[in-house]
Structure 1
């Protein structure tokens, strides 16, 4: 484990244990550097990474505060990772944006219709690397969900749709490939343009085999094990 990963992992363990809770202020960069026996530069890189993932917020003149939302393994069962010890790594979800669009793409080919809503989220895996996720719904389906606050967007979106619209996810088709990441995604993941990575596509179906949602997930290189599970016998 690199010094950068060691520091990130230690901060996340403090959040996990309750030593640091939502809204708590982290020690200064100098104090963290002394505590972990690393340079201030390494601390700054670790905090930048955790801030980008949404686990912490950095406020000019005030300090660094805990803000991340942890999700249970069941909430991201299609994206479970395990460390070298065989244990599942904790995941933290940060909602980035909700945008309406008429732009066409794989989502429109699958969902059909003219208007769509894209929910962008970052998922930090154990403080080691980030995933970038785009979750697409038809505009009319999203409107039926009613107002969604940030906490709702950082939970299991499939379950949210099932509960509020009575449209359960009955089948999910999943494809995984390795290829060059889109430049906008590479920027979000803070990796070099042209970098290859994991691309996962999920297509969810509901009653009467109706297309319900389209999701794409991207990741740069990682060493952890991705757990593949079959859903609903598919």
Structure 2
């Protein structure tokens, strides 16, 4: 009498498709900080060489990441990490208009550094002599992946030193105006703004990868809260571009007042 042999229940699982392995490898690299929000990934050819895969496999992996919302692909420019795109309703100062002036271009924020400093400068006069230490934040702002803008922010450390303890990853894409209002009860209720067209400082030109001596817009913004107390001093360096900037007033609740803009 023949006995029936039990089925083999120890079958190995089929190997995961190569493009899925690669998409997971890229995702892990992003999570580990190899590429930050707004950063451009290597070209498809470079990824193919690094991952030892065909160009078609790399393209399938990138399409998968696009569907997941991890990266964005721009024809003629490349693939960029998503995750730090500012919401239009939060934008007050980086409102670059698309062709036709009906839509805002997407902007992506990346923190370069956060530090405490006692350095004096034009921000010192804005805050007053009683302040002797500041939280100093450097940001790179990518506008529609077309060009970059450099921003530096100063805040009085006696009130906002907690910001200096936060990681750069945590602060990427954050609306500082909203954070100050919600976390520190310091809404921005008024601003003083000045613009000048002048050569960009050498350190800024290097950061933005533009020629030394390049002219651009230097935009200074002082933010005030209750009783006109100064809370933020920001300087924005904008290289030449054909994109228009929309200037939006501040409403009484500290948010952009879109109704006042024609």
* TM-score, length of structure 2 as denominator length: 0.63
Per-residue CA distance 1:111-148 (angstroms, 9 max, x = gap): 13111111101010001111100011011122255842
Runs of 5+ unmatched residues, structure 1:
1-19, 33-54, 57-63
Q: Is the 8 A contact 1:189 1:219 kept in 2?
A: no
| C-alpha distance in 2 between matches for 1:193 and 1:68 | 32
Of residues 224, 244, 261 in structure 2, which corresponds to 1:225?
244
Query: Where in structure 1 do 4 or more consecutive aligned residues deviate above 2 Å?
Result: 20-32, 64-68, 74-77, 144-154, 230-234
Q: Does 1:100 align with 2:125?
A: no
Q: Does 1:155 align with 2:155?
A: no
Of residues 87, 91, 101 in structure 1, which corresponds to 2:107?
91
Report what 1:77 is aligned to. Answer: 92
Q: CA deviation at 1:29?
A: 3.4
Q: Is the 8 A contact 2:194 2:219 kept in 1?
A: yes
Runs of 5+ unmatched residues, structure 2:
1-25, 36-40, 48-69, 72-78, 258-262
For the pair shown, which has the larger CA radius of gyration, 1 or 2?
Answer: 2
Q: Please, what is the CA RMSD of the aligned residues?
A: 2.9
| C-alpha distance in 1 between matches for 2:141 and 2:164 | 24
Q: How does 1:33-44 map to 2 (within 5 A)?
A: none
Report what 1:208 is aligned to. Answer: 227
Of residues 136, 140, 159 in structure 2, which corresponds to 1:118?
136
* TM-score, length of structure 1 as denominator length: 0.70
Of residues 160, 164, 169 in structure 1, which corresponds to 2:188?
169
| C-alpha distance in 2 between matches for 1:65 and 1:106 | 35
Q: CA deviation at 1:209?
A: 1.2
Q: Is the 8 A contact 2:114 2:164 kept in 1?
A: no
- CA change 1:198–1:163 in 2 (3 A) is same
Report what 2:59 is aligned to. Answer: none
Report what 2:63 is aligned to. Answer: none
Please state whether the residue corresponding to 2:241 is helix, strand or coil: coil
- CA change 1:191–1:164 in 2 (3 A) is same
